[in-house]
Amino acid sequence: MKLIFDKSVPGRQAVRPTCSDIDTPVELAPHLLRDRPAELPELSELDVVRHFTALSRQNFGVDSGFYPLGSCTMKYNPKIADKVARLPGFADLHPLLPQLPGGAGLVRGALAVLHKCDLLLREICGMAEFTLQPLAGAHGELTGVMMMAAYHRDRGNDKRTVLIPDSGHGTNPASAAIAGFAIKTIPSDQNGLMSMDALAEAVDDNVAGVMLTCPNTLGLFNPHIHDICRMIHDVDGLMYCDGANLNAMLGRCRPGDLGFDIVHVNLHKTFATPHGGGGPGAGPVGVVERLVDYLPISVVRMRDDGSYTLDYDRPKSVGYTAPFYGSFGVITRAVAYMLMLGRDGLKAVADHATLNANYIRCKLRDHYDLPHDRICKHECVFSASRQAANGVRAMDIAKALIDRGIHPPTVYFPLTVKEAMMVEPTETESKETLDTFIDTMIELAQLAETDPQAFAAMPATTPVCRLDEVRAARTPDLASLSDHA
């Protein structure tokens, strides 16, 4: 497919600019102006529409096919949630309006949505209060550990270490390090859980807290969670719950009730907005009562008369962690989704997510290695070690799935499983879709035994076929981009 620049024909136009008769006294400063005309492609409207329509057909998304991307929860997005987010009263607001004199009264509906989201998440997670500012899960992690650091500074604690299991999300140690902490990794035991013996050896008065993905990236719930929380609280440490896997226990189990002090929630994973490609996302962070003073500013408050205001008078706050009030469109979708499902519907999310994952686990256990073959939560992790003995690795199976119209699962993560394939079906997929995926995975397992060389040419149906990924990373061809920079 040609680049849109290559389709350009001099003089061809889709839009014909005309001079306006409206007086515009505003003049741009010279440094804001280009020193030469913009080299834009010249095409007719039909050319433009056909080009971008063709591009859209090359994309793979949750609206076009099954997306069992483990640890990322590519949940189907109900179109009613999109419709709510596009309402003019929400979509057309300027983010500075609430900060203007009397502006809060002009955006009462938007502030009500933010306040409602906070209240709903408090109930779902068992927390005292939430901030909605973080723009992604990792951003929520950073906000959470910043509050952890503020808590310890306020108490005069010189705690410098955060403990993280080796099966945790890779952003956990990065977030803790940016917040100023040293990281100590706790290995997993033979059951795929954080080793209690190794944890006991690591806990001392220097431990500021533990960042624990719950359930973990193997889809396993840790039955020792109360003991872990008690151990950390005994040294005045804090328990951080990476809530990226909240689908597994939504409405059935609350992080606050388990003993966690901080939790981030990925609205774009659990509450309707499929993410990918860098956004959009939202990672609200909830805290227990003793950490409320450290929440970022500003906080939406409802007055006795039902009006709303923004609270900036928070001397212990960690300050702004993002502009304005978070990803408002994602928050709006999440509120619509929660209200639409209600209490029973949210419980059903966890039930069906868990059922779907275990259905796949049981159907494929005879065809792929299963390092931890027991009841999982929302995702299950297979190993392609058996296939790798014939030269077919997890990445080869992932590439082959593309030819069959299925997005690959996450491969090579978690790092605790060799040749890992992490499958997360979500609660929104039907049994028929799951059966198609299962049959395809069985077919590929058989192909790996009978004709392993066939995988070398896959995918063969995509615009770009099998790449030399190492070469592409080390010697990228940027000529097409540089020609039009």
CATH number at residue 416: 3.90.1150.10
Mean pLDDT value of segment 429-457? 97
Question: Which domain does 42 fall in, by range?
Answer: 1-58
Asked whether residue 236 falls in the same domain as residue 284, the answer is yes
Give domain status of residue 91, yes or no: yes
Do 286 and 250 share a domain, yes or no?
A: yes
Q: Give a yes or no: residue 102 inside a domain.
A: yes
Directed axis angle between helix 328-364 and helix 431-450, to 10°?
50
Determine contact, residues 266/243, Cβ cutoff 8 Å: yes
Question: Is the same domain home to 17 and 102?
Answer: no
Q: Which two tokens stand for residue 122?
A: 């408090």
Q: How far apart are alpha carbons 386 and 442 in whole angstroms?
A: 13
Query: Rounded distance, CA 14 to CA 45, Å?
Result: 4
Residue bearing the bigger pLDDT, 61 or 18: 61
Residues 225 and 267 in one domain: yes
Are residues 142 and 177 in contact, defined by beta-carbon separation less than 8 angstroms? Answer: no
Residue 387 scores a pLDDT above 50: yes
pLDDT at 481 exceeding the cut of 60? no
Which of 27-31, 224-228, 475-479 tops mean pLDDT?
A: 224-228
Does 65 reside within a domain? no
Average pLDDT value for residue range 61-88: 86
pTM of the prediction? 0.89
Q: Are residues 49 and 94 in the same domain?
A: no
Backbone angles phi, psi at 130, to 5 degrees: -125, 150
Res 289 pLDDT > 80: yes
Residue 464 confidence (pLDDT): 81
Instruction: Answer yes or no: do 24 and 98 share one domain.
Output: no
- As a whole-number percent, the residues of the chain with pLDDT over 90 amount to 74
Q: What is the DSSP letter of 409?
A: P
Q: Has residue 76 been placed in a domain?
A: no
Res. 145 pLDDT band, cuts 50 70 90: very high
| % residues pLDDT > 70 (the chain) | 95
The yes-or-no verdict on residue 4 having pLDDT over 80 is yes
Check: CB of residue 84 under 8 Å from CB of residue 336.
yes
Query: How long, in residues, is the chain?
Result: 485
Q: How many CB atoms lie within 10 A of CB 446?
A: 11
Total of domains in the chain: 3
Q: Is 388 within 8 Å of 419 (Cβ atoms)? A: yes
With 80 as the cut, is the pLDDT of residue 23 above it? no
Give the mean pLDDT of 95-118. Answer: 90
**Alpha carbon of residue 161 to chain centroid:** 26
Lowest mean pLDDT among 260-274, 333-347, 377-391: 260-274
| The pLDDT of residue 15 | 77
Say yes or no: 260 and 335 in one domain: yes
Q: How far apart are CA 424 and CA 66, in angstroms?
A: 11
Q: Indicate whether 151 and 273 sit together in one domain.
A: yes
Residues 332 and 354 in one domain: no
pLDDT value for 412? 92
The structure tokens listed for 319 are 């300050």
Same domain, 385 and 248: no
Same domain, 288 and 435: no
Instruction: Say yes or no to pLDDT of 74 above 90.
Output: no
Judge residue 394's burial from the number of C-beta atoms within 10 Å of its C-beta, 0-12 exposed, 13-18 middle, 19 or more buried: buried
Q: What integer is the mean pLDDT of 304-318? A: 92
- Local confidence band at 32 (pLDDT 50, 70, 90 cut-offs): confident
Least confident of 140-154, 213-227, 275-289: 275-289
Lowest mean per-residue pLDDT among 99-103, 146-150, 387-391 = 99-103
Of 340, 357, 384, which residue is a domain's last?
Answer: 340
Cα–Cα dist 406/438, whole Å: 11
Q: Where are the beta strands (DSSP E) in 385-424?
A: 410-411, 420-423
Q: What's the token pair of residue 252? A: 């059935």
- Strand-pairing partners, residue 300, are 310
Q: Indicate the average pLDDT of the chain.
A: 91
Confidence band, pLDDT 50/70/90 cuts, at residue 277: low
| Residues 6+ away with beta carbon under 8 Å from 176 | 141, 145, 162, 164, 183, 211
pLDDT of the residue at 434: 97
DSSP 4: T
pLDDT band with cut points at 50, 70 and 90 for residue 64: confident
pLDDT band, residue 479 (cuts 50/70/90): low
Read off the pLDDT of each residue in 66-91 and give the average, rounded to a whole number.
Answer: 88
Question: How many contiguous H segments (helices) and E segments (strands) does the chain have?
Answer: 16, 12
Residue 239: the pLDDT is 98
Residue 9: pLDDT band by 50, 70, 90 thresholds?
Answer: very high
Looking at the structure, tell me whether residues 295 and 427 fall in a common domain: no
The predicted model gives 141-151 an average pLDDT of 97
**DSSP secondary structure of 350-385:** HHHHHHHHHHHHHHHTTTSB-TT-S--SS-EEEE-H
The mean pLDDT of 229-247, rounded to a whole number, is: 96
DSSP label of 100: S
**Residue 63 lies inside a defined structural domain of this protein:** no
* pLDDT-based confidence at residue 35 (cuts at 50, 70, 90): confident
Evaluate if residue 484 carries a pLDDT over 50.
no
Q: Long-range contacts: 342-349, Cβ < 8 Å, 24+?
A: 343/251, 346/124, 346/250, 346/251, 347/250, 347/251, 347/252, 348/251, 348/427, 349/247, 349/250, 349/251, 349/270, 349/427
Q: Are 295 and 132 in contact (CB under 8 A)?
A: no
In the predicted structure, residue 478 carries a pLDDT above the cut 90 = no
